[in-house]
């Protein structure tokens, strides 16, 4: 177990200590769950009550909250990000053991940088390039001609199809599939003809992709995920989609073919975005929204249908199918009323 004093932490991560800088920290915790050896953080002032009740040994606070407690504390500009970095200090990711497991199957034409770790039952195809310090977990498949940048980690069971490119310091969680064929089909009289998918999937640097998410390869051009993007679990990125840098997308969302998502967007869970759209930078989309048109102005967009008790929902949902009629009815009432009003002095 790692133990750090507040003074040691600020020497590494910046920020300022208020109170006893010798306070030693071994763990991170929530305000509610922390004990005397733990450090917690105040996300925002809604949690001031929890701050006052906490048993944490120290806390991380924003500058404008620096006197909200007398506990030993680190004051900084961004407590959430600071807390993330303290967590990483106290819980460093275990380095996979460098070397190729005897049960890995690595093609002799593949090139591997120094310090690469290849787990058991991994398959690496011909002409693959694996950068320095890459860690490939058990049972992964890395296709022919794939490039993986330095410091990237594949958890077990990841599949990367031929010719795809993965950036540096990327994290791919278990079950991720990169570069499967896009859904390209041409109808011919009475059956579908497969449209071969000859583009690639290109993943930038510092991207993290959650478990069982799929990013299809492009039809002709490439599918692109830019630097710093965060994709949660069970997301579908279709062929030729382009996701701008530092955009975050929550779980169960699907983005249809050829759509361009801007930079710094925040897309909620279970969102559906139709194909061939352009979403500009800095767009937020609420959970379960269906986006059917391009969005040209930054801002927050939503379209989740409200839930209610099922009996009430049935009564109200029925009226949805009469809305157009209802609107016309209101217009007629308006006209008839105006007529009466005119007659009436």
Closest separation in Å from C-beta 229 to a second copy? 9
Q: Which of residues 10, 274, 277, 280 is near a second copy by CB under 8 A?
A: 274
Closest separation in Å from C-beta 124 to a second copy? 10
Q: Which of residues 46, 97, 340, 342 is near a second copy by CB under 8 A?
A: 340
Q: Pick between residue 20 and residue 287 the one whose CB is nearest to a second copy.
A: 287
SS3 344: coil
Q: What is the DSSP letter of 316?
A: H
Alpha carbons 146 and 37: distance in angstroms, whole number = 45
- Residue 123 as a binder of a second copy (CB under 8 A): the answer is yes
- Residue 318 as a binder of a second copy (CB under 8 A): the answer is yes
Q: Which of residues 22, 192, 276, 294 is near a second copy by CB under 8 A?
A: 192
First and final C-alpha spacing in the chain: 88
- Residue 236 as a binder of a second copy (CB under 8 A): the answer is yes
The one catalytic residue among 55, 173, 239, 322: 239
Q: Which of residues 37, 113, 129, 301 is near a second copy by CB under 8 A?
A: 301
Q: Which of residues 29, 57, 151, 244 is near a second copy by CB under 8 A?
A: 29
Closest separation in Å from C-beta 340 to a second copy? 6
Closest separation in Å from C-beta 31 to a second copy? 11
Q: Which of residues 48, 68, 100, 251 is near a second copy by CB under 8 A?
A: 251
The token pair at 203 is 């993943």
**What is the gyration radius of the CA atoms in the chain, in angstroms?**
27
Alpha carbons 171 and 204: distance in angstroms, whole number = 11
- Residue 113 as a binder of a second copy (CB under 8 A): the answer is no
Q: How many CB atoms sit inside 10 A of residue 63's CB?
A: 12
Contact of 68 with 46, CB cutoff 8 Å: no
Contact of 219 with 184, CB cutoff 8 Å: yes
Binding residues with a second copy: total (CB under 8 A): 126
Cα distances (angstroms) measured from residue 329 to each of 54, 91, 315, 332, 336: 59, 65, 19, 5, 11
Closest separation in Å from C-beta 179 to a second copy? 9
Q: Which stretch binds a second copy (CB under 8 A): 65-73, 108-116, 128-136, 285-293?
A: 285-293
- Residue 298 as a binder of a second copy (CB under 8 A): the answer is no
Contact of 279 with 295, CB cutoff 8 Å: yes
Q: What are phi and psi of 194, to 5 degrees?
A: -70, 135
Closest separation in Å from C-beta 219 to a second copy? 9
- Residue 93 as a binder of a second copy (CB under 8 A): the answer is yes
Contact of 192 with 229, CB cutoff 8 Å: no
Alpha carbons 61 and 266: distance in angstroms, whole number = 25
Q: Which of residues 180, 277, 280, 281 is near a second copy by CB under 8 A?
A: 180
| Residue 239 is among the residues annotated as catalytic for this protein | yes
**Contacting a second copy within 137-176 (CB under 8 A):** 137-139, 141, 155-157, 159, 161, 171, 173-175
Alpha carbons 308 and 316: distance in angstroms, whole number = 10
**Contacting a second copy within 52-81 (CB under 8 A):** 78, 80-81
Q: What are phi and psi of 118, to 5 degrees?
A: -120, 115
- Residue whose C-alpha is closest to residue 98's, from 80, 115, 110, 79: 115
Task: List the catalytic residues.
Answer: 239
């Amino acid at each position: 177990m790692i133990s750090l004093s507040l003074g040691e932490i600020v020497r590494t991560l910046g920020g300022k200590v208020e109170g006893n800088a010798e306070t030693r920290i071994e763990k991170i915790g929530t305000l509610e769950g922390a004990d005397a050896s733990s450090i917690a953080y105040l996300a925002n002032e809604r949690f001031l009550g929890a701050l006052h009740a906490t048993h944490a040994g120290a806390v991380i606070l924003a500058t404008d909250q620096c006197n909200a407690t007398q506990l030993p504390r680190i004051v900084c500009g961004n407590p959430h990000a600071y807390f993330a970095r303290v967590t990483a200090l106290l819980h460093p990711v275990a380095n996979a053991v460098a070397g190729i497991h005897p049960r890995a199957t690595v093609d002799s034409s593949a090139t591997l940088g120094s310090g690469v770790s290849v787990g058991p039952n991994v398959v690496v195809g011909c002409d693959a390039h694996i950068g320095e310090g890459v860690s490939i977990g058990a049972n992964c498949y890395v296709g022919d001609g794939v490039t993986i940048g330095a410091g990237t980690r594949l958890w077990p069971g990841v599949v990367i199809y031929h010719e795809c490119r993965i950036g540096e310091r990327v994290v791919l969680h278990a079950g991720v599939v990169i570069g499967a064929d896009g859904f390209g089909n041409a109808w011919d009289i009475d059956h579908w003809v497969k449209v071969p998918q000859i583009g690639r999937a290109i993943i930038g640097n510092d991207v993290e992709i959650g478990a069982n998410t799929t990013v299809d390869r492009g039809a002709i051009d490439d599918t692109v995920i830019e630097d710093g993007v965060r994709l949660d679990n069970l997301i579908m990125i279709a062929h030729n989609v382009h996701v701008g840098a530092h955009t975050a997308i929550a779980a169960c969302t699907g983005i249809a073919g050829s759509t361009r998502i801007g930079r710094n967007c925040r897309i909620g869970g279970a969102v559906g975005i139709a194909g061939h759209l352009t979403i500009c930078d800095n767009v937020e989309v609420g959970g379960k929204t269906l986006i059917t048109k391009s969005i040209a102005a930054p801002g927050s967009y939503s379209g989740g249908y409200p839930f209610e008790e099922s009996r009430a929902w049935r009564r109200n949902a029925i009226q949805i199918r009469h809305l157009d009629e209802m609107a016309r009815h209101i217009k007629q009432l308006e006209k008839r009323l105006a007529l009466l009003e005119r007659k009436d002095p």
